[in-house]
C-alpha cells in the first residue's frame, strides 16, 4: 500500500533538533521503507540523514512539516509523531 | 648557533587566558599531545576506472574499520560515561550519512579524484550547510562531522589515535581538540583537568567535564605550542586562567584560592538543606522553577523550599491535540503530591495563539511577545482555560497548590479570570469533586502597567510574583534576542530597581507576599539587593538554589536594606552595577569569586 501523508509537529525539547534528537529521528526513519521529508523555512531534509536534519537548524518551539511517501508511510508517520510528542525522550 | 627545537628558557609565571568550561582549580604536570590526528592531504587524479574502483574500495574499507573502532569504544565505555554513549550512535549515523558517505563516493567517481580529497570536500560541503544554521548549539555539531571524518582519514593514512591508556601518572592534558569520544575514554583518575585549543562553554566536551567535575579551560589558542610536557600548570576552570610554571608566590596564591573554592563548594552544598534565614533571623523562601514533572526530583535534591513557578506549556505542546482535563489533573496532582508539604505555584498557560497552529487558527503576529498570549489568550479561549483551571483546582486537594495568572496588564483581566475561576469552582462542587476552596490566587507582575497599578492589583490577589525577564524586556524596550541591543538588558537598571520596589511596597501595604521568579532571582550577585528591596521569595533554576541560600544565610536583613537603599539612589545603570559589584566583592568575596559559576553550570 502506498500512502502520501503530511502533518506538522512542534519541536518540544529545550535544545531543539540537536545531535541526539536528530540521531533518534534518523535511526527511526531508517527502519521504515517510506521516504520521510522534514521541512522548515523552505529547507528540506531527508529524515534518514542526520546531517540533513541538523542542517535544518531547528530550535525549541519550531514547527516541522513532515511528509511521508511510499510503503509504510502510515506507521512511519505515527512513529514520528510519537517521537516528537515525547520530546525525543528529553525533558531538560 | 642552530635553532633549537626545545625551548632555551622555561617560561615562568606565564599567564594564558581561555574560556572557563568546567569549574575547579587543579595544579599538576602538563601532558601535551601535539598534532593529534593531523594528516597532510594531497590531491591527485585517478587515471583509470580500475583505479576509481580501487579507491572506492579503499574508502569502504576505511569506513568499515572506523565503524568497528567506534563500536569497540562504545562497548568499552565505563559506567560513569554511559549517559554520553549516544554520541557514538550519532557518530555511527554520520559515518553512513548520505552527505558524507554517498557524497564522497560520488566525488571520487565524478571528479576522478583520490578519496582523502573527496572526503575532505564532503566535510567542506557539510561545513557550508552548518554555517547557515542560526542556533549556535546545533551549529557547533559540525565538530561531530569533523571528528568522524578524521577517524576515517586516519584509517586511510594509517595514523594512530592517541591512546589514553598510556597515561600512568595524574596529569593535566593539553590537546588541540578533545572530542566527546576521547573524553569518554579518558581515565578520570589520571586526567586531573584539561586544556583544549578549540571548543566552547556549551560543547559536549565541556558539558561532560562538568558532569565529571574535572576542571577544564577551552578555546585557549596555541596551548599546545606554548606548553611543553612536564611544565607545571595551574588550571583555573572558574575564570579560564592557565599559569605556566608558577613561582612559589603564585603557587601559594592559587593553593589558597583552591582551598577557598573547595571550602565554598562544601559550604554551599551544606546550605542547600538548611532554611534560608538571614543572620538577623528573617526567613526567605528559595524555590525552584520547573517546566516538567520530571524536574521535581532535581528541585528537591537541591533543597528547594517549594516550586515557585510551574510552567504548564509543555503538556499543551507535546500532543497533536489539546490535553484532556484528566491528563492535566494527573500531572498537577503528581507534582503536588511529590512536593507535599511544600507548596507548588502553578502558572496558567503562558503561550501564544500561534503555537496552536494544529488546533486553532491564529496567525502569528510580527511581535509575538506583545501578541495574543498568556492570560489574553486564555480569556479568549475559555474552553482551554476552564479545562486547565478545573485540573489545577482538583489537584489542589492533594497538596499545597497555588494558582498564578501570567501577563496581567490591568484589573479587568484579573476580574474576568477570577469570575471564570468562581464558575469553575461551583461546577466542581456540583459534580462532587474535591478542591481547596480558598486556593491562593497570585498575579505575575511582568507588564509595566501592572507595576503602575500594583496597589490596586494587590487588593485582588493573594500574592505577587515578579517575572523579571519580561518586565525588564518591556520596561527597557529591549529584545534580548537582538544582538545590537542585548547588552542593554540590565537587571540593575535604576528603573527596574524602582519598579521592583514599587511592587514590593504595594504588596506589603496590602499584606501579601511578593516573589521574584525571573533569571534575576537565581543570580547570586543580585540576592542581597532583592532581599533588601523587601522581596519575600526567590524562585529560580534548581541549580542556583544552594548558592543563593548560602548568601541569604550569611547576610543580615539590616545590611541588605542599607545596600538596597544605596543602590536605589543612583541614576545610571553603570553606577548601580559598580556599586553592587563593589559591595559584593567586599562583603561576599567567595560568592563573588565562585558563586555565579557554580550557580550557572548545567
pLDDT of B602 over the 60 cut: no
Q: How far apart are CA B554 and CA B280, in angstroms?
A: 10
- B458 contacts chain A (CB < 8 A): no
- B290 contacts chain A (CB < 8 A): no
Q: How far apart are CA A29 and CA A49, in angstroms?
A: 9
Q: Say how many C-beta atoms besides its own lie within 10 A of residue B300's C-beta.
A: 16
Question: Which one, of B255, B176, B173, lies nearest residue B214 by Cα?
Answer: B173
- B135 contacts chain A (CB < 8 A): yes
Of the candidates A9, A18, A52, which has its C-beta nearest B138's C-beta? A18
For residue B459, the distance in angstroms to the closest alpha carbon of chain A comes to: 36
Q: How far apart are CA B91 and CA B109, in angstroms?
A: 25
User: pLDDT tens digit string along B479-494?
Assistant: 877 778 878 889 999 9
pLDDT grade for A23, boundaries at 50, 70 and 90: very high
Residues contacting B368, CB < 8 A, separation 6+ = B352, B354
Total domain count for chain A? 1
Interchain proximity B99–A92, CB inside 8 Å: no
Whole-number pLDDT of residue B395: 97
| H or E segment to which residue B232 belongs | strand B232-236
Q: How far apart are CA B517 and CA A42, in angstroms?
A: 38
- A91 contacts chain B (CB < 8 A): yes
User: pLDDT tens digit string along A43-57?
Assistant: 999 999 999 999 998
| H or E segment to which residue B110 belongs | helix B103-111
How do B513-516 and B537-540 pair as beta strands? parallel
- Give me Rg for the CA atoms of chain B: 29
pLDDT of B202 over the 70 cut: no
- A46 contacts chain B (CB < 8 A): yes
Which of B120-129, B134-143, B282-291, B478-487 is predicted with the least confidence, judged by mean pLDDT? B478-487
Which of A13-17, B440-444, B507-511, B569-573 is predicted with the least confidence, judged by mean pLDDT? A13-17
Q: What share of chain A is helix, strand, coil (3-state, %, to 5)?
A: 35, 30, 35
pLDDT of B2 over the 60 cut: no
Question: Which one, of B110, B117, B210, B109, lies nearest residue B156 by Cα?
Answer: B117
**Mutation target among A54, A63, A80, A89 for the B interface, most CBs of B within 10 A:** A54
Whole-number pLDDT of residue B249: 94
Q: How far apart are CA A76 and CA A64, in angstroms?
A: 15
- A92 contacts chain B (CB < 8 A): yes
Q: How far apart are CA B487 and CA B316, in angstroms?
A: 33
Nearest CA in chain B to A15: B137
Residues of B annotated as catalytic are 204, 517
Q: Which residues of A touch B318 (CB under 8 A)?
A: 12, 85-87
Whole-number pLDDT of residue B354: 57
Domains defined along chain B, listed by start? 14-36+162-246 (3.50.30.10), 49-157 (1.10.274.10), 311-439 (3.20.20.60), 444-602 (3.20.20.60)
- State the cell numbers at B250: 603564585
- A38 contacts chain B (CB < 8 A): no
Whole-number pLDDT of residue A35: 94
User: pLDDT tens digit string along B33-62?
Assistant: 876 555 567 788 888 898 899 999 999 999
Q: Which of A13, A16, A18, A21 is catalytic?
A: A18
Whole-number pLDDT of residue B162: 66
For residue B130, the distance in angstroms to the closest alpha carbon of chain A comes to: 6
Average pLDDT score over residue span B265-286:
90
- State the cell numbers at B276: 534560608
Mean pLDDT of chain B: 88
Percent of chain B with pLDDT over 70: 91
Q: How far apart are CA B535 and CA B516, in angstroms?
A: 7
Active site residue A18: yes
pLDDT of B552 over the 80 cut: yes
Of residues B221 and B420, the one with the higher pLDDT is: B420
- State the cell numbers at B175: 590537546
pLDDT of B267 over the 80 cut: yes
Strand partners, B216: B22, B194
- State the cell numbers at B554: 550569611
Size of interface A-B (CB pairs under 8 A): 87
**Mutation target among A57, A65, A77, A89 for the B interface, most CBs of B within 10 A:** A57
Nearest CA in chain B to A26: B93
Whole-number pLDDT of residue B510: 97
Question: Which one, of A62, A65, A71, A61, lies nearest residue A47 by Cα?
Answer: A65
pLDDT of B104 over the 70 cut: yes
The 3-state DSSP class for residue B422 equals helix
For residue B193, the distance in angstroms to the closest alpha carbon of chain A comes to: 26
Burial class (CB in 10 A: 0-12, 13-18, 19+), B242: buried
Q: Which residues of B touch A28 (CB under 8 A)?
A: none
8 Å CB contact between B403 and B442: yes
Average pLDDT score over residue span B531-559:
94
Whole-number pLDDT of residue A38: 95
User: Domain holding A55: CATH number?
Assistant: 3.30.1340.10
Task: Identify the domain containing residue A46 by its residue range.
Answer: 2-89
pLDDT of B1 over the 50 cut: no
Interchain proximity A23–B93, CB inside 8 Å: yes
User: pLDDT tens digit string along B379-396?
Assistant: 988 999 999 999 999 999
The 3-state DSSP class for residue B487 equals helix
Cα-to-chain-centroid distance, residue B383: 35
8 Å CB contact between B538 and B530: yes
8 Å CB contact between B353 and B371: yes
Q: Say how many C-beta atoms besides its own lie within 10 A of residue B597's C-beta.
A: 18
For residue A64, the distance in angstroms to the closest alpha carbon of chain B comes to: 11
What sign for the dihedral angle of Cα B220, B223, B229, B233?
Answer: negative
Whole-number pLDDT of residue B3: 41
Q: How far apart are CA B271 and CA B545, in angstroms?
A: 9
Whole-number pLDDT of residue B36: 54
User: pLDDT tens digit string along B291-348?
Assistant: 888 889 889 988 999 999 999 988 887 666 788 999 999 999 999 999 999 999 999 9
Average pLDDT score over residue span B564-582:
95
Interchain proximity A46–B98, CB inside 8 Å: yes
Nearest CA in chain A to B85: A20
User: pLDDT tens digit string along B146-190?
Assistant: 889 988 988 887 666 666 777 788 999 998 887 766 776 776 778
pLDDT of B358 over the 60 cut: no
Nearest CA in chain A to B89: A23
Interchain proximity B99–A51, CB inside 8 Å: yes
Q: Which residues of A touch B297 (CB under 8 A)?
A: none
Amino acid at each position: 500500500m502506498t500512502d502520501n501523508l503530511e502533518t506538522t509537529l512542534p519541536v518540544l525539547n529545550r535544545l531543539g533538533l540537536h545531535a541526539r534528537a536528530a540521531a533518534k529521528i534518523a535511526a527511526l526513519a531508517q527502519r521504515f521503507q517510506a521516504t520521510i521529508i522534514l521541512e522548515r523555512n523552505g529547507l528540506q531534509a531527508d529524515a534518514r540523514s542526520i546531517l540533513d536534519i541538523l542542517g535544518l537548524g531547528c530550535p525549541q518551539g519550531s514547527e516541522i512539516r513532515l511528509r511521508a511517501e511510499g510503503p509504510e508511510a502510515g506507521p512511519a508517520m505515527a512513529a514520528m509523531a510519537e517521537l516528537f510528542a515525547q520530546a525525543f525522550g528529553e525533558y531538560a | 648557533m642552530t635553532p633549537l627545537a626545545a625551548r632555551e628558557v622555561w617560561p615562568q609565571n606565564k599567564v594564558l587566558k581561555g574560556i572557563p568550561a568546567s569549574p575547579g582549580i587543579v595544579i599538576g604536570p602538563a601532558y601535551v599531545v601535539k598534532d593529534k590526528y593531523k594528516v597532510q592531504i594531497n590531491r591527485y587524479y585517478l587515471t583509470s576506472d580500475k583505479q576509481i574502483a580501487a579507491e572506492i574500495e579503499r574508502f569502504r574499507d576505511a569506513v568499515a574499520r572506523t565503524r568497528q573502532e567506534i563500536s569497540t569504544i562504545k562497548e568499552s565505555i565505563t559506567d560513569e560515561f554511559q549517559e554520553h554513549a549516544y554520541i557514538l550512535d550519532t557518530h555511527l549515523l554520520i559515518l553512513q550519512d548520505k552527505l558524507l558517505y554517498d557524497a564522497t563516493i560520488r566525488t571520487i567517481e565524478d571528479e576522478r579524484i583520490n578519496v582523502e580529497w573527496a572526503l575532505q570536500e564532503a566535510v567542506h560541503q557539510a561545513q557550508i550547510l552548518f554555517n547557515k544554521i542560526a542556533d549556535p548549539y546545533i551549529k557547533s555539531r559540525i565538530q561531530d562531522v569533523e571528528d568522524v571524518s578524521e577517524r576515517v582519514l586516519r584509517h586511510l593514512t594509517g595514523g594512530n589515535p592517541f591512546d589514553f591508556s598510556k597515561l600512568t601518572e595524574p596529569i593535566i592534558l593539553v590537546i588541540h581538540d578533545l572530542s566527546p569520544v576521547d573524553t569518554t575514554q579518558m581515565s578520570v583518575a589520571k586526567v586531573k583537568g584539561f586544556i583544549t585549543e578549540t571548543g566552547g562553554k556549551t560543547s559536549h566536551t565541556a558539558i561532560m567535564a562538568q558532569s565529571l567535575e574535572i576542571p577544564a579551560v577551552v578555546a585557549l589558542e596555541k596551548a599546545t605550542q606554548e606548553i611543553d610536557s612536564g611544565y607545571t600548570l595551574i588550571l583555573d576552570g572558574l575564570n579560564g586562567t592557565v599559569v605556566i610554571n608558577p613561582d612559589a608566590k603564585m603557587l601559594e596564591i592559587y593553593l589558597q584560592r583552591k582551598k577557598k573554592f573547595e571550602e565554598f563548594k562544601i559550604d554551599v552544598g551544606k546550605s542547600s538543606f538548611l532554611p534560608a534565614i538571614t543572620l538577623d533571623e528573617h526567613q526567605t523562601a528559595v524555590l525552584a522553577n520547573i517546566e516538567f514533572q520530571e524536574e521535581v526530583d532535581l528541585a528537591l535534591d537541591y533543597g528547594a523550599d517549594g516550586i515557585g513557578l510551574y510552567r504548564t506549556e509543555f503538556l499543551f505542546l507535546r500532543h497533536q491535540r489539546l490535553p484532556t482535563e484528566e491528563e492535566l489533573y494527573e500531572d498537577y496532582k503528581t507534582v503536588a503530591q511529590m512536593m507535599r508539604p511544600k507548596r507548588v505555584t502553578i502558572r496558567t498557560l503562558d503561550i501564544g495563539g500561534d503555537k496552536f497552529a494544529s488546533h486553532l487558527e491564529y496567525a502569528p503576529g510580527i511581535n509575538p511577545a506583545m501578541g495574543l498570549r498568556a492570560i489574553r489568550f486564555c480569556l479568549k479561549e475559555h474552553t482551554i482555560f476552564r479545562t486547565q483551571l478545573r485540573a489545577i483546582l482538583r489537584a489542589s486537594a492533594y497538596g499545597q497548590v497555588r494558582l498564578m495568572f501570567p501577563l496581567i496588564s490591568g484589573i479587568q483581566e484579573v476580574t474576568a479570570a477570577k469570575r471564570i475561576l468562581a464558575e469553575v469552582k461551583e461546577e466542581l462542587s456540583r459534580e462532587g469533586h474535591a478542591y481547596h476552596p480558598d486556593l491562593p490566587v497570585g498575579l505575575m507582575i511582568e507588564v509595566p502597567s501592572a507595576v503602575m497599578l500594583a496597589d490596586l492589583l494587590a487588593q485582588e490577589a493573594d500574592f505577587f510574583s515578579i517575572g523579571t525577564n519580561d518586565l525588564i524586556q518591556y520596561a527597557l524596550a529591549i529584545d534580548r534576542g537582538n544582538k545590537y541591543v542585548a547588552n542593554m538588558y540590565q537587571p540593575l537598571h535604576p528603573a527596574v530597581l524602582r519598579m521592583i520596589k514599587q511592587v514590593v511596597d504595594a504588596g506589603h501595604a496590602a499584606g501579601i507576599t511578593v516573589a521574584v521568579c525571573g533569571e534575576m532571582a537565581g543570580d547570586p550577585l543580585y540576592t542581597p539587593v532583592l532581599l533588601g528591596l523587601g522581596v519575600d521569595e526567590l524562585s529560580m533554576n534548581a541549580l542556583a538554589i544552594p548558592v543563593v541560600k548560602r548568601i541569604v544565610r550569611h547576610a543580615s536583613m539590616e545590611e541588605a536594606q542599607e545596600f538596597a537603599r544605596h543602590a536605589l539612589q543612583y541614576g545610571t545603570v553603570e553606577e548601580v552595577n559598580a556599586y553592587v559589584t563593589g559591595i559584593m566583592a567586599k562583603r561576599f568575596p567567595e560568592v563573588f569569586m565562585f558563586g555565579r559559576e557554580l550557580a550557572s553550570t548545567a
